[in-house]
Structure 1
Amino acid sequence: MKSIVYISKACQQFSQEDLNRLAQKAMEKNGQLDVTGFLSLHDDRFIQYIEGDENTVEALFQTIRLDERHKVIKTLSKPLANGRNFPKWRMKHISSSVYRELSVETFILKQLEMMQDCTMDGPAWHEMIWQGIDILADKADTIN
């Protein structure tokens, strides 16, 4: 099992309807692939987390990377030793308001952006990103 989290910059405007449609298509595809995770858009930055079989996740991410609607800026990956973090989320679309309530999205985005800007990087910063994912995973059952 493997997980990937990435931040990307949108290359076009996304309405709420566009996001809902994108998340719905991802849920359908991820159901077929047995991949789980979440997607969010904050301003013009996407954050997406996917997890599942290592080869499947790698192949899916290569497809995501080629999508012209966004440009991937920073990516982190990690083996999943203890199973999935989000087993019930085929592709949960998480609104910014949920993240604000949990104080997680801004934390994760800022860390990834600092790494992309080369102002901060390295194992300690990577661990902070994964801690943010762990916080979200701990709250997953309470998020609608």
Structure 2
Amino acid sequence: MYALVYISKANQPFEPSTLHALADQANRRNRLLSITGFLTYKKGQFLQYLEGKEKAVDNLMNTIQNDPRHTVVKIINLPDQPQRYLSEWHMRYLSVSDLGAVSLDDLLVDTLNKLDTDIYSKEKVLEILRRILVRFSRYFEDKPTSFFPPL
């Protein structure tokens, strides 16, 4: 199964109702194209994951790149995957609160357990781990180091 993820910068403001309408429209179109995925938006930036037949996804990505409402900043083609991960999500909008519901510790453990060193070089694995650690350190830098009072 072919998949990609892209990041884009919004060229106009997007309200939650607009984002849901956009996802509904994409859901109907993607169902016809047999494409699945999700869309999220935070601080003027989109992240979208798409999976399906390569030609269909590439054609859709060309259409997306020509949409004047945003500018695609980065596209990452993912290694072929054995199956669809989001078989029921022709397009689902995930809000910031939806993403927050995903447990970071579970995601970290799952990522580390499944990181295939046959696909990714040791350097790439270390880079991914470094990014995770930087994200943790930034998040916790202004938070107390302990919930227990000093002895």
**TM-score (structure 2 length as normaliser):** 0.68
Asked if residue 29 in structure 1 is aligned to residue 15 in structure 2, the reply is no
Alignment of 1:18 with 2:18, yes or no, is yes
Amino acid at match of 1:5: V
Aligned length: 111
- The amino acid across from 1:54 in the alignment is E
Residue 95 of structure 2 is aligned to residue 82 of structure 1: no
Aligned to 1:6: 6
Q: Mind listing any 5+ residue stretches in structure 1 that lack a counterpart?
A: 108-122, 133-144
- Name the structure 1 match of 2:60: 60
Runs of 4+ in 1 over 3 A off after TM superposition: none
Give the superposition deviation at 1:79.
3.8
* CA-to-aligned-CA distance 1:92-143 (integer Å, 9 cap, x gap): 1001011122156xx9xxxxxxxxxxxxxxx727x94xxx9xxxxxxxxxxx
Percent identity among equivalent residues? 38
Query: Offset of 1:83 from its aligned partner?
Result: 1.0
Paired position in structure 1 for 2:124: 124
Equivalent in the alignment of 1:102: 102
Distance 1:80 1:87 in 2: 16
Higher helix share: 1
TM (normalized to structure 1)?
0.71
Correspondence for 1:114: none
Q: How far apart, in 2, do the equivalents of 1:79 and 1:55 lie?
A: 15
Q: Which has the larger radius of gyration?
A: 2
Unaligned segments of structure 2, at least 5 residues? 108-122, 133-151
Q: Deviations over 1:31-89 (max 9, x none)?
A: 00000000010110000000000100000000001100000011101243311111110
SS in 2 for 1:76: strand
